[in-house]
Amino acid sequence: MVAKWLSFKEASYTGRYATRGYVELNKNHEIEPMFMQYFGKGFRAGAIPCDEKGVYWFFTWTPTSKDKELAQDPAKLKDYVLSKLENMPSDVRSFIEKTELDAFQSTPLRYRHPWELIMGNISKNNVCVVGDALHPMTPDLGQGGCCALEDGVVLARCLAEAFFKKPNEEKEEYKRIEESLKKYAKERRWRCIDLISTAYIVGFIQQSNSKFVNFIRDTILATFLAVQLLKKSDFDCGQLK
């Protein structure tokens, strides 16, 4: 509601879906505590252990109009995912095979166009927008939740500065709040634009159907993309004062 009041549009559909699942095994999976990622034609998959028996996995794909119906049928969706992952290591496929149907979650991936943040109002009067309402992004960087936490730190710091001095009257306090929210908006705008844009581009490259793009990704961009993933997460939003 706040985003709509500030004239932001609903998040735009990227043309991609994400299917996620979690499986709790009967015995230890004995895999290293590391993130595993696999690329295919028009899809990307990955898995990461949560503890000794639990494994989280994901599968992002570009559905046709007919494929979108699969998202409403967990059984068919499971068969579809497994059919796409025939060349994956057998142990990783087994995690998906052992996942219960009610643990399958499939959603369209949405994001906010960067130019909306360039031209839009993140704050107005004594109101502002934060978190996914401000910067919905694709999960390709894994920074959506982290970015929301950054919002909270910056917003709290800016508001603390507004409330630090006791106002002489209510109008003065209102003005300080308004100015602190403008400061918050200025500080967060380009960080959000950077993350939204990078996440979208990384997702496009990693999940491309183009043989040329895939060749460039695997031979030239692999190291660059890995560096970008780490670089974007290594961000200091400052301290609470």
Q: Are residues 226 and 157 in the same domain?
A: yes
3-state DSSP assignment of residue 119: helix
Residue 210 has pLDDT above 80, yes or no: no
Whole-angstrom Cα distance, residue 20 to residue 190? 30
Q: Are residues 207 and 117 in the same domain?
A: yes
Q: Are residues 117 and 173 in the same domain?
A: yes
Q: Are residues 200 and 120 in the same domain?
A: yes
Closest-CA residue to 205 (of 192, 193, 222, 230) = 222
Residue 44 in contact with residue 37, Cβ under 8 Å?
yes
Q: State residue 167's pLDDT score.
A: 66
Q: Are residues 227 and 128 in the same domain?
A: yes
Residue 109 in contact with residue 18, Cβ under 8 Å?
yes
Which tens digits make up the pLDDT trace of 149-192?
Answer: 999 999 999 999 888 877 677 778 888 999 999 999 999 999 99
Q: Are residues 43 and 94 in the same domain?
A: yes
Average pLDDT value for the chain: 88
3-state DSSP assignment of residue 124: strand
List, in sequence order, the alpha helices (H) in the chain: 2-5, 74-84, 90-97, 114-119, 144-164, 170-206, 211-216, 222-233
Question: What CATH number corresponds to the domain at position 104?
Answer: 3.30.9.30
- Taking each helix axis from N to C end, the angle separating 144-164 and 170-206, rounded to the nearest 10 degrees, works out to 160
- Quick check: is 240 in a domain? no
- Taking each helix axis from N to C end, the angle separating 170-206 and 222-233, rounded to the nearest 10 degrees, works out to 160
Q: Which domain holds residue 87?
A: 16-109
Q: State residue 171's pLDDT score.
A: 77
Q: Are residues 68 and 134 in the same domain?
A: no
Q: Are residues 79 and 143 in the same domain?
A: no
Which tens digits make up the pLDDT trace of 76-131?
Answer: 999 999 998 888 777 778 889 999 999 999 999 999 999 999 999 999 999 999 99
Whole-angstrom Cα distance, residue 124 to residue 17? 34
Residue 216 has pLDDT above 80, yes or no: no
Q: Are residues 67 and 171 in the same domain?
A: no
Q: Are residues 116 and 228 in the same domain?
A: yes
Q: Are residues 120 and 202 in the same domain?
A: yes
For 2-52, give the DSSP string: HHHHTTPPPPEEEEEEEEEEEEE-SS-----SS-EEEEETTEEEEEEESSS
pTM to 2 decimals?
Answer: 0.86
Q: Are residues 116 and 229 in the same domain?
A: yes
Pairing of strands 12-24, 105-111: antiparallel
